[in-house]
Amino acid sequence: SHELKTPMAIIQAHAEALSEGAFHDEVMGPKFVDALLRNSERLNTIVSSMLELAHLESGTYDLFLSMYEIEPLIENSIELFQDTDFEHSYQITIDVEKDLKAYIDVQAFSHIVHNFVENAIKYTSRKGIIRVKGKQTDDGVRVSVEDNGPGIESKYFSRIFERFFRIDKGRARDEGGTGLGLSIVRNMADAMGAQVGVCNSELGGAEFWCLFPNVH
């Protein structure tokens, strides 16, 4: 994929420059080494995500589906975000119906929630309000993550789950984005027989949801 070529070309160019003498340049030396590091990290992120996607698409991804209470799982998947220094700049609330259970794989479910919340934080720059909801509907158990960020234009609602799709490539790249997060999410949901989608949130930003079918 050409997504791999950019960081690879940058690594190659900087390594060459270093070996051709920049290594001894007090100013450029450290800069080039820094660029090497940043781009190899980026390459690493992309390759790991691509491998995960390939694993999912191969159909050999192991799932253990059962009925689980979801509120504790949601709490665990966002624990990490509540520990960070950024806490002052956003607020996450959880609003899940009491004792709500869904037919899920714990790891895949947690991954989806984690990813939605990570995006909500990432794309909601200041004073973020993030709400995770869970409720029983006629169609199944609906889990959603809403934010008060910039939201998503409706013309992108389905494209957003395509691999490597990002609305603002430059910005997403600065944030370390690969555009693979949501395609992994969609594949995991598929594997569980769940649906995913996005709509406008009453909070002003985006609302990403996942619907787990009722099992009887």
Ligand X SMILES: Nc1ncnc2c1ncn2[C@@H]1O[C@H](COP(=O)(O)OP(=O)(O)O)[C@@H](O)[C@H]1O
Give one word for 21, left, alpha or beta, with left for phi > 0 and alpha for psi -120 to 50: left
Tokens of 126: 């200041």
Residue 181 touches Mg ion, criterion: CB under 5 A: yes
Least Å from the CB of residue 177 to Mg ion: 6
Main-chain dihedrals φ then ψ at residue 139, nearest 5 degrees: -90, -10
* Binding residues for Mg ion, total number by CB under 5 A: 2
Least Å from the CB of residue 144 to ligand X: 11
Map the footprint of Mg ion across residues 119-148, applying CB under 5 A.
119
Q: CA-to-CA distance for 5 and 9, rounded, in angstroms?
A: 6
| Contact residues: ligand X, CB under 6 A | 119-120, 123, 147, 149-150, 152, 160, 165-168, 172, 177-182, 205-206
By beta-carbon proximity to Mg ion, the closer residue of 128 and 181 is: 181
Q: Residue 166: name its binding partner from ligand X, Mg ion, none (Cβ under 5 to 8 Å by kind).
A: ligand X
Cβ-closest position to Mg ion: 181
With CA atoms as reference, report the closest residue to 116 among 3, 16, 205, 35.
205
Tokens of 52: 């995960």
Q: Residue 96: name its binding partner from ligand X, Mg ion, none (Cβ under 5 to 8 Å by kind).
A: none
Candidate segments 102-110, 141-149, 178-186, 202-210, binder of Mg ion by CB under 5 A: 178-186
Least Å from the CB of residue 215 to ligand X: 28
Under a CB-based contact definition with an 8 Å cutoff, are residues 100 and 173 in contact? no
Least Å from the CB of residue 181 to ligand X: 3
Neighbouring CB atoms inside 10 A of 7's CB total 21
Which strands, in side-by-side order, build the sheet including 140-147? 90-96, 128-137, 140-147, 206-212, 195-200
Site residues (CB under 5 A) for Mg ion? 119, 181
